[in-house]
Amino acid sequence: MTAETVQEKEVGRARARKEDARLVTGQTNWTDNIQLPGLVHIAFLRSPLAHARITRADTSRAREATGVIAVFTGADLAAEQGSLPCAWPVTPDIVIPQHPPMAVDTVRYAGEIVAAVVARDRYAAADALEAIDVDYEELPPVLDMEEALAEGSPKVHEQGNKSFVWPFSNGDIEAAFRDAPVVLERTYRQQRLIPSAMEPRAVVCAPVGDEFTLWSATQIPHVLRVMLALVTGIPEHKLRVIAPDVGGGFGSKLQVTAEEVLALLIARRLGRPVKWTESRSEGNLAVHHGRDQIQRIRVAAGADGRLRGLDVDLLADMGAYLMLVTPGVPLLGAFMYNAIYKMDAYSFRCTGVFTTKTPTDAYRGAGRPEATFAIERVMDDLAAELGMDPLALRERNWIKHTEFPYTTIAGLTYDSGNYEAATAAARELFHYDELRKEAAERAAAGDPVRLGIGISTFTEMCGLAPSRILGQLAYGAGGWEHASIRMLPTGKVEAVTGSSAHGQGHETAWSQIVADELGVPFEDVRVLHGDTFVAPKGMDTYGSRSLTVGGIAVVAACGKVREKARVIAAGLLEVSPDDLEWSSGRWQVRGDPDQGKTIGEIALATFAAHNLPEGVEPSLDSDATYDPDNFSFPHGTHLCAAEVDTETGAVRLRSYVAVDDVGQVVNPLIVEGQVHGGIAQGIAQALFEEAAYDSSGTLVTATLADYLVPSAADLPAFVTSRTATPSTTNPLGVKGVGEAGTIASTPAVVNAIVDALRPLGVPDVPMPCTPERVWRAIREGAAR
Amino acid sequence: MIPARFDYVRPGSVEDAVRALAGGGDDARVIAGGQSLLPLLRLRLAFPDLLVDVGGLSELRGVRETAGSLEIGALTTIYELTRDPLLTAHCGLLAETATLIADPAVRHRATIGGALAHADPAGDLPAVVLALGGSLLIRGPEGEREVRAGDFFTDYMTTSLSPGELLVAVRVPRLGGDWGFRYEKFRLTAQSWAIVGVAAVARRSNGHVAEARIGLTNMGSVPVRATAAESAAAGAEASAAALREAGSRADEGTSPPSDLRGSADYRRHLARVLTGRALAAAAGAS
Ligand SMILES: Cc1cc2nc3c(=O)[nH]c(=O)nc-3n(C[C@H](O)[C@H](O)[C@H](O)COP(=O)(O)OP(=O)(O)OC[C@H]3O[C@@H](n4cnc5c(N)ncnc54)[C@H](O)[C@@H]3O)c2cc1C
C-alpha cells in the first residue's frame, strides 16, 4: 500500500466527534429533558440510618398534601416489587440476600429507599417527603469488614456477613515461599469511591395499555430490559428501554437500579407517565460505590529480584446487598495481580463481606485498578528492599515481547505486547535519569520539599468477554456484541450497534470503521444505538469492550453487506461474483476496472429490485454477532514525579508521562481523551476522593463540597505517547482504552509519594494521600 | 434546585430593601449572589419565608476611595475584587485572596457582602478583612452604623447584623507602599475551602518588621487574629528564619475544629507553618 492510500483511510484519523455538538450544548434528549403529556414526578424518601427496623411508616399527612397524587411504602409494593437482580453468583454457595427495591421492614444502609411520593411537580413531591413519618428501631451498624467477619458481630443479613469465598491457585505456592530469599507482606486499602458521572441518574417511564417505554440514563438498555422483565413479570416484548444520550457512567450506570424498577411499577399502578431525577447528594448516597477492598499481598522473590510467588488475600466490601455484578468485581482483578510478570506460583482468595453501607459494584476498571495498585506498589517496595532500580526489577520479571502469546500464571493468554518499547519511550519522555538524580540530591541536602518517582507498568484485560469464559466464571450472560448495517437506497448507511455509548464517541469511531469497510464517506454513516426497538440486540458498554467486541461486530456486519453486494453487482454487471474485486467502495471486474458498481449504486438497484439475481432478497442489510475468542491486553508505562512538602504534607504532581499501548488506534483524539480522563480519575483515587462514613454509618461525603472530585487545576499537564502493538485476537488489532488511565495512574502517584518519603522512614501512605495523612506518615517515620 | 416555598421581592433601592427586610423580620433573608444561600435552600437546611434580592441595587456595587480608606460596595463580586484597580494598587491582599476563592463561575456571582454576612469560618474574606483592620457599614431601619470587623463576627456563621439590617459596604485602609501582604490558603483541591488560611500584612522598615497583622481562617468558630505571632513578629528581623519563629506562635489562643478536612492538631501545625510563610512573603524576606 502506498503512503497516500493509508492517508485516505478513516481509521486512524483524528476526527472531531460528530456527537459532541449536541452533547456539549445539551440540546438533546437527556432523560431529564424528556417531557410527556400528563407526566408526574417521583421523589424518594431515603433512610437516614445505616441499620434499622422500620416500625411504622405513616404516609397519611403526605397523601393529603397539595399536588400529591400517590404515596407508596415498601409494604404497599411488597407483593409486586420482587428483588433486585445479581447476575454474577460467583460460587455455588454464595449468599445472595433478598433485595427489595423499596425497604419493607429493615433498612441496611443510609440512603436505602423507604417511601415514594408521586406529585404533580418536583416541588410538591419534595415537600411531601417531609410529611412522611417513619419510626425506626435502630440496629447496630456494621462498618468494618474485619469486624463484620469476627465472631459475635451484628449481622447485616440473617445469613451472616459473609457472602462468598472465591479461591484460585496455580503452581506450588508453598514451594515458592519456602526458603525464598526475600518475602514481603503488605496490606493496602482500596478506599470506597463514588462514581461521579456528569449526568445524574434519571428515569422516565410511560405506560400505554400494558406496554411500557422506559427511558433511563443507563449504560445497559439491553441488559436492563431483560432484567426488568424478569424482576417485574412484565413480558419482555411489551417493554421498550431507551438509553437516550447519557452523560457518563464509569460503571455506575451498569446497574439495574431500585429507582428504575420502582418507576416502572409506579407507572403501572398509576397508568400515567412518571419521571425521577436524582440530586447530586441523593446520588452520592445511592449510586453504587466502587472499590472498598482490603488487600493482603505477599510476594516471594530471589535475591536477584526474580519473582517466585504471589499470594493475595482480599476482603471485598459488598455493601448491604449484591447488585448486578457486585461479587464479580474482585474476580476481574483476580487474574490481574500477576500483571505483566512471570512467576512460579500464584494464589488468590477473595471474601465478599456485607456491611451496612451503600452497595458496591463496577467502577471504572472494576477489580483491575485494585489489583494493579497492589502489585505495582509491592514491586516498588520489593525494589527498595533489594536495592534495585524499580524499572530494572520490572524488566527482570516481565514477559518479553518475543514470548507472546504468553499464558500467565493466572491462566490468561496475553496475545501481544511490548513492555520494553513502552517503557523505553516513557523513560525518555520523563527524563528518568535526571529526575532520579535530582531526587537523590534533594534527599541528601535535606530539602524540605522532596521529589519522588512513581512507576506503573500496567496491563489490563479488555474486551469483556468471551462468553465461554464468562460461563466458566458463573456470570449470568454472554459477552458477545451485535451490529447490523442497513444500506439506504441513496447510498447512505445506518449502522446499528448494541454498544450503548454514554459519552465515549461511538458514533464517530463506528462511522470511521464503516466508512473504511464500505468505502463510503464518513459523513454518510449514521450510528443508531441505545433503543431496544431500534437496536434490538446488545450487551452494552462497560469493561472497555465496545471497540474490541462491538466494533468487530460492525466490521463483520459490513463484511456481510459487502458480500451480498458482490452477488448483486455480479448480476448487474452480468459476470460471475468470482470475477469481481473490491476496491474502495466499489465491486469492479478484475482486469477491467471501468466496469463496476459502487456500494451506493448497488443499494439503489437493490431498492428498485428490478433485476436481482435469482433467489436474492431485495435488501442490502446484514446482522452480525461477534463473540471474542479472547480478551485483549492493553498495557503501558506510566511515570509520575511528585513533590512532597514535608512541612505541610502537601503533594504536587510535577510531571506525568503515560505511554500506552492500546493496539491499533481508530481515532487518536478519542484515545487521547480517554487516557486523559482515565489518568485524572486514577489520580483522584490516589490523592482526593473517598466516600467516608462516620461511626454511626452516615455518609459524610454526600455533597461535592465534601467528596472532592479534582478539576484540571489540580492536575499536571499529562505527557502522553503511544506504542502500537496490534492485538492478534481481532481483525482490527484493537485493544481497548476506556479504563487504562484509571488503572495505571493510581499506583504511579502513590509510588511517587512513597519514593519521596522512603528516606524519611515512610513505608506507605494510605489513600487518598491527603496532606494530613502524608504529614502524619512523616511524623510516624521520624518516630520510628 | 428544589427548595421549600418562599416569597421573593426585588427592591429598587436600599431604603426599600431595608423596609422589606424589617417587614419580614426573622423569616426574611437577603439574597445577593446566592452562592452560599442557594446551596442551603437546595439542601433544605434553610427555610426563609421571604427572600429580599438585593441584586438590583447597583449603588452597592464597586470600590470608592475615601479619606485614607477604600469603601467596597457589598454587592461587588469576588471577580470584581480580583481586578479592581484601586484594590490592586492599595489593598492587594483582598485582590489576591479573591483569586483563590472558588471557581470563575462562582466568583462572577458571589459578593463580598455575602461572603462576610455568611460568616463561614472557612471563608477566606472574613480573616482578610480582620487582618486589614477593616470595618463594615450597615444600614437598618434606624439608619447607618459602622462595626469593626473584630466585633462583626460573633459566633459560628453568626454576625452582629440584626434582622432588618443590610450590609452595604466594607471599609478597608489604604495600605502604603511599605506594607507587604500575603494570603496563604491551604486547601485540598483548587476549588475547595481552606483547611487553614493565613492572611498577613506587614510593614517593613530597615530590614525588620515594624508591624504585622495576621488573620486566621478556620482556626475557630470565627476568624481570629494571631496576636501572639503578631507581637513576636513586631521588631523581628525580616528573615525567613525569624518569621518562621514568630509564626510558630500562630495557634496560641485558637480552638480549631476537627473535621473531615483536618484534625485540630494538624490545623494548629498548619497555622504555624503557614503563618511563618505568610509573614516572610509579606515582609519580603528571602
Ligand atoms: C462551589 C463553591 C465554592 C466556594 N469556595 C469558597 C472558598 O474557597 N472560599 C470562600 O471564602 N468562599 C467560597 N465560596 C463561598 C462564596 O464565596 C460565597 O458563597 C459568597 O461569597 C457569598 O456571597 P453571595 O453573594 O453569593 O451570598 P448569598 O449566598 O446571596 O448570601 C449569603 C448569606 O449572606 C447574607 N447576605 C448576603 N448579602 C448580604 C447583605 N448585603 N447584607 C446582609 N446579609 C447579606 C444572605 O442572607 C445569606 O445568609 C464558595 C461557594 C461555592 C458555591
State pLDDT tens for residues A143-171.
999 999 999 999 999 999 999 999 999 99
State the ipTM, two decimals.
0.96
Q: How far is residue A772 CA from its own chain's centroid?
A: 30
DSSP secondary structure string for all residues of A667-695: -HHHHHHHHHHHHHHHHIIIII----B-T
Task: Please list every residue in chain A whose beta carbon sits closer than 8 Å to the beta carbon of residue B43.
Answer: 281, 703
Task: Please list every residue in chain A whose beta carbon sits closer than 8 Å to the beta carbon of residue B39.
Answer: 705
Q: Position A269: which residue type?
A: R
The protein residue with its alpha carbon nearest to ligand 1, atom 2, reads: B102
User: Rounded to the nearest 5°, which phi and psi values hold at A665?
Assistant: -110, 125
Task: Please list every residue in chain B whose beta carbon sits closer than 8 Å to the beta carbon of residue A713.
Answer: 189-191
Nearest to B188 among A122, A688, A776 (CB): A688
The protein residue with its alpha carbon nearest to ligand 1, atom 36, reads: B114
The contact set of B with A (CB < 8 A) is 2, 4-5, 39, 42-44, 103, 186, 188-193, 195, 260, 262-263, 266, 269-270, 273-274
Q: Is residue A734 within 8 Å of residue A549, measured between CB atoms?
A: no
How does A296-332 read in b/e, with b if 16+ C-beta sit within 10 Å?
A: ebbbbbeeebbbbbbbbbbbbbbbbbbbbbbbbbbbb
Rounded to the nearest angstrom, the minimum Cα separation between B198 and chain A is 14
Q: Is residue A637 within 8 Å of residue A456, measured between CB atoms?
A: yes
Task: Please list every residue in chain B whose beta carbon sits closer than 8 Å to the beta carbon of residue A126.
Answer: 2, 4, 44
pLDDT score for A3: 37
Ligand 1 geometric centre to CA of B77 (Å): 10
Residue carrying C-alpha cell 514477559: A399
Tell me whether residues B266 and A701 touch, CB distance under 8 A: no
Residue carrying C-alpha cell 410538591: A124
Q: Calculate ∠ Cα A404-A408-A412, nearest 5°.
A: 90
pLDDT score for B1: 85
pLDDT score for A595: 97
The protein residue with its alpha carbon nearest to ligand 1, atom 14, reads: B102
Q: Is residue A507 within 8 Å of residue A514, measured between CB atoms?
A: no
Rounded to the nearest angstrom, the minimum Cα separation between B190 and chain A is 6
B229 and B250 fall within a common domain: yes
Tell me whether residues B260 and A700 touch, CB distance under 8 A: yes
User: Rounded to the nearest 5°, which phi and psi values hold at A546?
Assistant: -60, -55
Nearest CA in chain B to A121: B2
* Torsion angle of the four alpha carbons B207, B209, B215, B218, in this order, in degrees rounded to the nearest 10: 60
Rounded to the nearest angstrom, the minimum Cα separation between A712 and chain B is 9
The protein residue with its alpha carbon nearest to ligand 1, atom 38, reads: B114
Which residues of chain A register pLDDT less than 50? 1-7
pLDDT score for A317: 98
Q: Quick one: which of A728, A746, A745 has its CA closest to A659?
A: A745
B153 and B30 fall within a common domain: yes
Q: At what angle do helices A506-518 and A552-573 cross, to 10 degrees?
A: 30
Residue B129's domain spans which residues?
Answer: 7-53+63-172
Q: Is residue A577 within 8 Å of residue A590, measured between CB atoms?
A: no
- Does residue B123 line the site of ligand 1, with CB under 6 A? yes
Tell me whether residues B191 and A713 touch, CB distance under 8 A: yes
**pLDDT per position as a tens digit, A175-224:** 999 999 999 999 999 999 999 999 999 999 999 999 999 999 999 999 99
Q: Domain ends where: B120, B146, B172?
A: B172
Q: Is residue B271 within 8 Å of residue B198, measured between CB atoms?
A: yes
User: Which of B30, B78, B162 should be mutated for ligand 1, with most atoms under 8 A from CB?
Assistant: B30
Q: How far is CA A535 from CA A482, A485, A502, A532, in A?
A: 9, 11, 15, 5
CATH fold of A20-26+480-626: Aldehyde Oxidoreductase; domain 4 (3.30.365)
Kindly report the three-state secondary structure assignment for every residue of chain B.
Answer: CCCCCCEEECCCCHHHHHHHHHHHHHHEEEECCCCCHHHHHHCCCCCCCEEEECCCCHHHCCEEEECCEEEEECCCEHHHHHHCHHHHHHCHHHHHHHHCCCCHHHHHHCEHHHHHHHCCCCCHHHHHHHHHCCEEEEEECCEEEEEEHHHHEEECCEECCCCCCEEEEEEEECCCCCEEEEEEEEECCCCCCEEEEEEEEEEEECCEEEEEEEEEECCCCCCEECHHHHHHHCCCECCHHHHHHHHCCCCCCCCCCCECCECHHHHHHHHHHHHHHHHHHHCCCC
Rounded Cα–Cα distance for residues A550 and A454 (Å): 35
Q: How far is CA A343 from CA A299, A339, A700, in A?
A: 10, 10, 43
B130 and B226 fall within a common domain: no
Nearest to B43 among A122, A130, A281 (CB): A281
Nearest to B270 among A648, A706, A710 (CB): A648
Ligand 1 geometric centre to CA of A692 (Å): 26
Please name the CATH architecture into which domain A47-139 falls.
Alpha-Beta Complex (3.90)
Domain boundaries, chain A: 20-26+480-626, 47-139, 365-461+632-783
At B253, which CATH number? 3.30.390.50
Question: Would residue B270 count as lying in a domain?
Answer: yes
The protein residue with its alpha carbon nearest to ligand 1, atom 31, reads: B114
pLDDT score for A214: 98
Q: Domain ends where: B143, B172, B201?
A: B172
B258 and B189 fall within a common domain: yes
B164 and B191 fall within a common domain: no
B168 and B184 fall within a common domain: no
Sign of CA dihedral A416, A419, A421, A422: positive
Which residues of chain B register pLDDT less than 70? 286
- Does residue B33 line the site of ligand 1, with CB under 6 A? yes
Q: Domain ends where: B126, B141, B172?
A: B172
Rounded Cα–Cα distance for residues A473 and B146 (Å): 73
Label the pairing between strands B28-31 and B7-9. unpaired
B168 and B186 fall within a common domain: no
**Closest ligand 1 atom number to CA of residue B60:** 41
pLDDT score for A8: 80
pLDDT score for A2: 37
Rounded Cα–Cα distance for residues A690 and B65 (Å): 47
pLDDT score for A784: 83
B140 and B185 fall within a common domain: no
B71 and B167 fall within a common domain: yes
Q: How far is CA A329 from CA A23, A366, A369, A469, in A?
A: 30, 5, 11, 15
B15 and B94 fall within a common domain: yes
Q: How far is CA A169 from CA A183, A334, A409, A412, in A?
A: 18, 10, 9, 13
Residue of B266, B268, B275 to mutate, testing the A interface (most A Cβ within 10 Å of its Cβ): B266
* Domain A365-461+632-783 falls under CATH 3.30.365.10: yes
Rounded to the nearest angstrom, the minimum Cα separation between B225 and chain A is 21
Residue of B192, B244, B259 to mutate, testing the A interface (most A Cβ within 10 Å of its Cβ): B192
Left if phi > 0, otherwise alpha if psi is -120 to 50, otherwise beta: which for A465?
Answer: beta
* Torsion angle of the four alpha carbons A168, A169, A170, A172, in this order, in degrees rounded to the nearest 10: -170
Nearest CA in chain B to A649: B270
Residue carrying C-alpha cell 510593614: B203
Question: Would residue B2 count as lying in a domain?
Answer: no
Query: What is the number of CB-based contacts under 8 A between chain A and chain B?
Result: 52
Same CATH topology for A20-26+480-626 and A47-139?
Answer: no
Rounded to the nearest angstrom, the minimum Cα separation between A714 and chain B is 6
pLDDT score for B90: 95
